[in-house]
């Protein structure tokens, strides 16, 4: 915190501005996150309603190290809270840091980048106050999420002290990343860079925690913010002091951000691009080449995510299979039972990869809307490029990007698995199972594209559909949701290959739906006004 009195009138005004301009997004984040966490906790409490069932789950999950790599090592897993922490481990590792990152990135560097901050700072607002206000609002939102979650856990039957500590640990995790994002916002030039940098920090944290939890180098876990949630051990020893680590990290990073913001020039950044070529290459003058340039950063980012995930999973394949061989209960708990445990493992990984591929599609189509909202689509269509060719060029590039992500990650999964288990028999089956998910991914991409054609302001709803489909795909079977609910997620109709057989009928229907949505998007886009507000 800076030495100045933070209670100057400017800060209250600035907090008001941040809240007024961002409240809808903040409320959606808080409510969606709290609701999904509370819903998961309640469902788990319903499923594991006897000590025997909880004990069975704990036995199964602790049998191998592969699951610990994904969900984390849970102390006190032989309790309702422990089961909840384990089940929620993977999603919480990403959602809570993202909460902190999104809340801060959107109200710091993005505002500066668009020039809105300049207008604000021309008023009675000190240079450091926008950062302080962004952090204050983010902290309040994180606290609200934690309180809601703690209440939900307590209602589900988790002891109150443990519920509070677990929620506080998750909130502190989000706060640490809010601080990191605030600091990055002072160093890079664009809101996009804040996200990219924060996600790299998150990926490193995840890898450190994964390696620390599964190897002899257990101290590595202590280096990871994600590890601190585990080390607080809310359902075992309850080490409250561990919360000091994430809170301290958030305060130090946030303080450094405040210090930087009070001293640096507006619009400046430590890391920025230099001069570039004075001419565009022949490729970039073509619609396809230009679309490829626009989508390249997102494609590379999601590809990196897919390769990281599949590489890690593949490398752990042997350990996981060893655990499965000695423990049918674990296989059942992971939904990986069946004649070929390796197939179950690959099927589980491919589902994660499908979520990555779908996320890429939704983001890419959101980029098209951003081009329109930014006025650049108008510039683009004022030339000889027709609407259909413009959209087709983007569709081709995005589809190719999806293929690169899915095929590339599947190849990594196949190679690392072959290396880990020592044979290449399943190489083809692993890659084919990745391809089988393409129609399901394209259905959600089609939803986003149809929205872009029909109701461009609603393109953001594509993310809502994505969140629902992801939730159902991951947690639906475990929570024993009704079949019609499960059927809402496109991935349900793929047939869970290679554990199950890819269903040609299901894939055909998914493909038809995807094509229909795609056509709808094209036709609607051809007929509508540009720009449409």
Partner 1 sequence: MSVSSAPVIDIRNLTKSFGKVRALDGLDLSVRPGEVHGFLGPNGAGKSTTIRILLGLIRAGGGHVELFGADPWRRAATLHGRLAYVAGDVALWPGLTGGQCIDVLGATHGAVNQARRRALIERFDLDPTKRIRDYSKGNRQKVALVAALAAEADLLVLDEPTSGLDPLMEQAFQRCVRERRDDGATVLLSSHLLDEVEALADRVSIVRHGRTVTTGSLAELRRHTRTSVHAVTVAAPDGLAGAEGVADWASTSRDGQVDVRFTVDAEHLDAVVGRLHAARIHTLTVTPPSLDALFLRNYADPVDAREPGETPAGATR
Between the CA of residue 479 and those of 151, 154, 482, 486, 495, what are the distances in Å?
20, 19, 9, 10, 19
The answer to whether residue 266 forms part of the interface with partner 1 (CB under 8 A) is no
Long-range pairs, 341-344, Cβ under 8 A, ≥24: 342/317, 342/417, 342/421, 342/426, 343/426, 343/429, 343/498, 343/499, 344/499
Nearer to partner 1, 377 or 431 (CB): 377
C-alpha 498 chain-centroid distance: 25
Nearer to partner 1, 27 or 530 (CB): 530
Tokens 């129609």 sit on residue: 439
**99 in Cβ contact with 145 (< 8 Å):** yes
Q: Which residue in 4, 239, 284, 432 binds partner 1 (CB under 8 A)? A: 284
How many CB atoms neighbour CB 95 within 10 A? 20
The answer to whether residue 530 forms part of the interface with partner 1 (CB under 8 A) is yes
| Burial degree of 246 (CB within 10 A; 0-12, 13-18, 19+) | buried
Nearer to partner 1, 27 or 388 (CB): 388
Q: Which residue in 124, 376, 457, 480 binds partner 1 (CB under 8 A)? A: 376
The answer to whether residue 285 forms part of the interface with partner 1 (CB under 8 A) is yes
* Closest approach of partner 1 to the CB of residue 193, in Å: 11
Residues between 170 and 209 with contacts to partner 1, criterion CB under 8 A = 189-190
The answer to whether residue 265 forms part of the interface with partner 1 (CB under 8 A) is no
Nearer to partner 1, 23 or 376 (CB): 376
Nearer to partner 1, 301 or 314 (CB): 301
The answer to whether residue 273 forms part of the interface with partner 1 (CB under 8 A) is yes
Residues in the interface with partner 1 (CB under 8 A) total 33
* Closest approach of partner 1 to the CB of residue 424, in Å: 42
Q: Taking contact as CB under 8 A, which single stretch among the options 92-100, 285-293, 439-447, 502-510 is the one that binds partner 1? A: 285-293
Region of residue 375 (left: phi > 0; alpha: psi -120 to 50; beta: else): left
Nearer to partner 1, 24 or 279 (CB): 279
Count Cα atoms within 13 angstroms, Cβ side, for 301. Answer: 18
How many CB atoms neighbour CB 244 within 10 A? 12
The answer to whether residue 531 forms part of the interface with partner 1 (CB under 8 A) is yes
* Closest approach of partner 1 to the CB of residue 526, in Å: 10
Between the CA of residue 296 and those of 281, 302, 350, 488, what are the distances in Å?
16, 10, 23, 31
* Closest approach of partner 1 to the CB of residue 383, in Å: 2
Residues between 377 and 436 with contacts to partner 1, criterion CB under 8 A = 378-387, 389
**Residue 9 and residue 339: Cα distance in Å, rounded?**
68
Q: Which residue in 122, 216, 275, 482 binds partner 1 (CB under 8 A)? A: 275
> Footprint of partner 1 on this chain (CB under 8 A)?
189-190, 273, 275-280, 284-286, 290, 294, 374-376, 378-387, 389, 527, 529-531, 533
């Amino acid at each position: 915190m800076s030495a100045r009195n933070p209670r100057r009138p400017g800060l209250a005004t600035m907090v008001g501005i941040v809240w007024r301009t961002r409240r809808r997004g903040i409320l959606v984040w808080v409510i969606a996150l709290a609701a999904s966490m509370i819903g998961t906790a309640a469902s788990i409490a319903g499923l594991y309603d006897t000590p025997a069932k909880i004990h069975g789950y704990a036995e199964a999950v602790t049998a191998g190290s592969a699951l610990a790599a994904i969900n984390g090592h849970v102390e006190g897993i032989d309790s309702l809270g422990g089961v909840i922490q384990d089940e929620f481990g993977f999603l919480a590792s990403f959602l809570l840091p993202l909460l902190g990152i999104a809340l801060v990135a959107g109200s710091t560097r993005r505002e500066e980048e668009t020039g809105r901050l300049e207008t604000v700072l021309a008023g009675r607002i000190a240079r450091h106050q926008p950062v302080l206000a962004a952090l204050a609002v983010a902290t309040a939102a994180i606290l609200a999420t934690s309180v809601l979650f703690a209440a939900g856990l307590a209602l589900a039957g988790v002891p109150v002290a443990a519920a509070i500590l677990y929620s506080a640990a998750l909130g502190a995790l989000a706060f640490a990343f809010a601080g990191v994002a605030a600091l990055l916002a002072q160093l890079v030039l664009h809101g996009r860079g804040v996200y990219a940098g924060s996600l790299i920090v998150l990926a490193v944290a995840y890898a450190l925690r994964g390696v620390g939890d599964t190897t002899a180098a257990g101290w590595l876990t202590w280096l990871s913010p994600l590890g601190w949630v585990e080390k607080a051990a809310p359902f075992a020893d309850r080490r409250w002091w561990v919360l000091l680590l994430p809170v301290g990290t958030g305060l130090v990073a946030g303080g450094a951000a405040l210090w930087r913001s009070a001293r640096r020039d507006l619009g400046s950044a430590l890391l920025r691009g230099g001069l570039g070529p004075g001419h565009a290459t022949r490729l970039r003058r073509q619609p396809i080449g230009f679309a490829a340039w626009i989508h390249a950063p997102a494609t590379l980012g999601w590809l990196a995510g897919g390769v990281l995930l599949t590489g890690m999973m593949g490398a752990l394949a042997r350990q996981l299979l060893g655990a499965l061989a000695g423990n049918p209960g674990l296989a059942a708990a992971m939904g990986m039972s069946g004649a070929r445990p390796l197939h179950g493992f690959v099927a589980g990984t491919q589902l994660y990869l499908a979520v990555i591929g779908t996320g890429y599609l939704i983001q890419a189509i959101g980029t098209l809307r951003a081009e329109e909202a930014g006025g650049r689509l108008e510039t683009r269509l004022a030339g000889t490029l027709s609407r259909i060719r413009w959209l087709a060029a983007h569709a081709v590039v995005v589809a190719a990007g999806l293929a690169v992500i899915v095929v590339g990650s599947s190849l990594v999964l196949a190679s690392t698995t072959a290396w880990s288990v020592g044979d290449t028999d399943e190489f083809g089956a692993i890659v084919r199972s990745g391809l089988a998910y393409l129609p399901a991914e394209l259905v959600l991409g089609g939803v986003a594209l149809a929205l872009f054609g029909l109701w461009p302001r609603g393109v953001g709803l594509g993310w809502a559909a994505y969140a629902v489909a992801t939730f159902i795909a991951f947690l639906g079977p475990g929570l024993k949701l009704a079949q019609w609910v499960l059927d809402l997620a496109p991935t349900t109709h793929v047939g869970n290959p290679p554990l199950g057989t890819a269903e040609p009928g299901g894939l055909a229907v998914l493909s038809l739906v995807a094509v229909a949505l795609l056509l709808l998007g094209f036709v609607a886009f051809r007929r509508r006004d540009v720009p449409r507000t």
